[in-house]
């Protein structure tokens, strides 16, 4: 797959099959510039965040939360802090977080209960950027997220390395909470064609520009659905590395897709339907 996809990059194709340059490590989510500004704030340790590998939750969680907040109170980076349900409960009752827009919560052992707390607390009503990477979240947690009023302003959502499966993805993309979403990371979630087709047909993802499906179980059928989607009209970048798609089939599908793109460009009509990933 990688050899085929390396061909696409030099000719300025918009589809991303190669290793992503997104933040947070060698592969994964790209937070906004706003969120990046809060990373590595405390210094020390190794990696992109400068936090090292803590052995457990901080002894003083309220102080730890305060230390990881941005000066304007709009961003907080707790990646790798392992605060758990106890920690997110404290956050939910922290008045200083009432204006938080960006929350990075990678590897905090939140689970579905943590999602419930975030959903029910008015503290998080202004969220626009949310990373829940590696928190053991299942379809049950996604159901709460999909229905939660705190998530209707989201622009970037990272659910990498959880336990969503097709069931979780179907629940997620059937939510109007995703209407403003421009970036969605569903890497390493055991998603198959059912989930991919749900994404391709969701009426709430028309503003989505970046879609990360790295290391799932999607076949050519799922990829074709996304490439030919009539609702993913803003999609510019997609990562399909490590799915169940072989090089030759992917190459044929991409060529067929580009033929469709070229055909659309020849149609001079103001309301013509647009395929995702068609270069302008």
Within a domain: 250: yes
Within a domain: 253: yes
Within a domain: 276: no
Partners of 237 in beta bridges: 210
State CA 204 to chain mean position distance.
15
6-61 pLDDT tens trace: 333 332 334 444 333 222 222 333 343 333 443 333 333 333 333 345 567 788 99
pLDDT score of 40: 37
83-138 pLDDT tens trace: 999 999 999 999 999 999 999 999 999 999 999 999 999 999 999 999 999 999 99
For the ranges 43-47, 145-149, 152-156, 214-218, the lowest mean pLDDT is seen at: 43-47
Within a domain: 274: no
pLDDT score of 248: 86
Q: Helix 111-120 vs helix 84-92: angle between axes, to the nearest 10 degrees?
A: 0
Task: Give the domain extent around 75.
Answer: 2-265
Within a domain: 111: yes
Name, in order, each residue with C-beta under 8 angstroms of 10's C-beta and a sequence gap of 6 or more.
Answer: none
Report CA-CA distances (Å) from 10 to 150, 193, 209.
Answer: 41, 29, 20
No. of helices (H) and no. of strands (E), the chain: 10, 7
Specify the 3-state DSSP secondary structure of 26.
Answer: coil
Q: Which long-range contacts (CB under 8 A, 24 or more apart) does 249-257 make?
A: 249/220, 250/1, 250/4, 250/5, 250/17, 250/220, 250/223, 251/4, 253/220, 253/223, 253/224, 253/227, 254/8, 254/13, 254/15, 254/227, 257/227, 257/228
% residues pLDDT > 70 (the chain)? 77
Averaged pLDDT, 168-184: 97
How many other CB atoms are there within 10 angstroms of residue 117's CB atom? 20
239 φ/ψ angles, rounded to the nearest 5 degrees: -115, 120
Within a domain: 118: yes
152-175 pLDDT tens trace: 999 999 999 999 999 999 999 999
For the ranges 27-41, 58-72, 210-224, the lowest mean pLDDT is seen at: 27-41
Please give the Cα distance from 47 to 31 (Å, whole number): 16
Within a domain: 6: yes
Number of domains within the chain: 1
Specify the pTM.
0.81
Which burial class, exposed, middle or buried, applies to 264 when counting CB atoms under 10 A from its CB (0-12, 13-18, 19+)? middle
Which CATH number is 256's domain given?
A: 3.80.10.10
Whether 177 shows a pLDDT value over 90: the answer reads: yes
Question: What is the pLDDT of the chain when averaged over all its residues?
Answer: 81
Give first-to-last CA distance, the chain, whole Å: 25
Rounded CA Rg of the chain: 19
Within a domain: 277: no
pLDDT score of 54: 53
Name, in order, each residue with C-beta under 8 angstroms of 137's C-beta and a sequence gap of 6 or more.
Answer: 110, 111, 112, 114, 115, 159, 162, 163, 164, 168
């Amino acid at each position: 797959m990688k050899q085929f996809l390396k061909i696409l990059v030099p000719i300025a194709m918009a589809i991303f099959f190669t290793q992503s340059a997104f933040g947070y490590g060698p592969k994964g989510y790209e937070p906004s510039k706003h969120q990046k500004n809060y990373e590595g704030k405390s210094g020390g340790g190794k990696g992109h965040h400068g936090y090292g590998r803590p052995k457990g939750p901080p002894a003083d969680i309220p102080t730890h939360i305060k230390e990881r907040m941005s000066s304007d109170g709009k961003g907080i980076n707790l990646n790798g802090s392992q605060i758990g349900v106890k920690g997110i409960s404290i956050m939910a009752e922290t008045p200083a977080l009432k204006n938080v827009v960006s929350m990075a919560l990678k590897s905090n052992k939140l689970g579905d209960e943590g999602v419930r707390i975030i959903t029910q607390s008015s503290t998080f009503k202004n969220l626009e950027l949310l990373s829940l990477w590696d928190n053991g979240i299942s379809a049950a947690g996604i159901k709460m997220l999909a229905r939660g009023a705190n998530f209707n302003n989201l622009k970037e959502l990272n659910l990498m390395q959880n336990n969503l499966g097709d069931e979780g993805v179907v629940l997620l993309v059937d939510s109007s909470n995703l209407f403003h979403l421009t970036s969605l990371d569903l890497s390493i979630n055991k998603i198959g064609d059912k989930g991919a087709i749900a994404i391709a047909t969701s009426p709430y993802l028309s503003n989505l520009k970046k879609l990360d499906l790295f290391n799932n179980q999607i076949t050519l059928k799922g990829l074709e659905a996304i490439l030919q989607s009539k609702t993913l009209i803003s999609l510019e970048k997609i990562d399909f590395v490590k799915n169940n798609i072989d090089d030759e089939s992917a190459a044929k599908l991409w060529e067929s897709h580009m033929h469709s793109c070229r055909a659309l460009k020849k149609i001079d009509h103001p309301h013509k339907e647009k395929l995702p990933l068609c270069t302008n």
